[in-house]
Structures are given as structure tokens and as C-alpha cells.
Amino acid sequence: MSVRRLISLMISALVLGVIPSCFPSHGLSVEDYDTVLTGYIPGTPFASYRTFAMPDTIIHVGDDTDKLLGRSYDALMLSTIARNLEARGFRRVIDTLQETPDVMVYVAGTASSFTSYYSSWNDYWDDYWGWGWGPYYPPYWGPSYNSLTYNIGRINIDMVDNGLARRGLTNPIVWSGSMSGLLAGSISRPYITTKINQLFEQSPYLVTGGAQ
């Protein structure tokens, strides 16, 4: 599969998801903003798959991703994904020239910075009453407006059926999982591991016939 084709598949999968919007945090943590979503093609014979291959890097899509998402947790994410697949009976193929795996697993990341605008009556009245009460009404009876800039990060995992891909089908992705909100607050290694594990827990059908 060409790099251009791979990136095209990744972008298609990424734009299908919902990017949550955030407003003033009110003390909420990253867990209050994140989402963990999974989906698959009905009728996919997951039990017939035995082997998988996965690149040793995470594709970053978009100009802001390297800066906002970074690569501090790439190795942890990839190893956690591989460990979950192996626990479900998949055997990892390292040399794809010597052996063609049943499925390819690709991991992509994207991150963007957003600015939202929200009204605040309290801020307006705090400013107004600071002037002192007088005989004249203010010229504008309404809220003031504030802006909030926040970053949204996302990791998407796609499982591609190699047989379908070689036959040139438009969308050979048979399973996809995504975790969003990675930049809504501080994250940690346990947080990353828990969320990736959750992707697989939400996909009990993702087990090969070789699982013991």
C-alpha cells in the first residue's frame, strides 16, 4: 500500500469521528472531556485472522500535530496496542517481506487548536458596577464576550484487511478505534494505557480463532 493511499485512509477515518468542544473547565479534568469510540464492519470474519503487522511509528496528520500532540507517548501507545492484539490471539509479523500478515494496523494522531467564544453576564456587570451607580443607564444592556483557546488531540487506530486492500477495495478498514481529548488536560502513562485498553474492551469480537 502506498504512503499516499495510507494517509488517505487515515484522514478518512479521522474525519468520521466527533471532535468534542470544550468551554470553561469549571475544574473538570481531562477524563471529563475525552471520548473512546470503536466501530467495525458487520460480518467481518475476525476469527479467521491470525497475524498482524504494525509500523513502528505513529503517523501525524495536520500541521499542528507535531507541536501539540508530541511523541512522548508513541512507544507506549504502540506497545499497548500490540499487547492487546497478542492477548486476543494475534501474532505480530515483523518482516512483511518474508510473511504477509492477515491485517495491517495503522496508528495516526491529529491535534488542532480551537478558539470558542462565550458570553458572560457576570463579567459585564462587574465592569459596570465598578463605575459606581449614576442617574444614567449604560448604553448597552447585554453580556460581555470572552474567548477560550483550547487544544484537542486524537489517536486513531485502523485495522486493514490485507486481502481486501490487495483487491483494491475502496475501504478495506474492518475495525477502527479512536480516543479523543488527549490535550484537554494533563495526561500520564496510566491514563494512556487505560484508554487504549478500553478500546479493546469495547471490542469483544476482536479475537482470532487462534486465541486460547
CB atoms within 10 A of CB 112: 17
Domains of the chain: 3-20+29-128+142-201 (3.30.160)
CB atoms within 10 A of CB 205: 12
Q: Note the pLDDT of residue 27.
A: 45
Q: Encode pLDDT of 5-41 as tens digits.
A: 444 444 344 433 333 333 334 444 445 557 899 999 9
Question: Which backbone phi and psi does 14 adopt, to 5 degrees?
Answer: -65, -40
C-alpha cell at 28: 473538570
Cα–Cα distances (Å) from 149 to 24, 47, 111, 112, 182, in that order, read 10, 45, 13, 10, 15
Q: Encode pLDDT of 102-132 as tens digits.
A: 999 999 998 876 666 665 555 444 444 444 4
- C-alpha 26 chain-centroid distance: 24
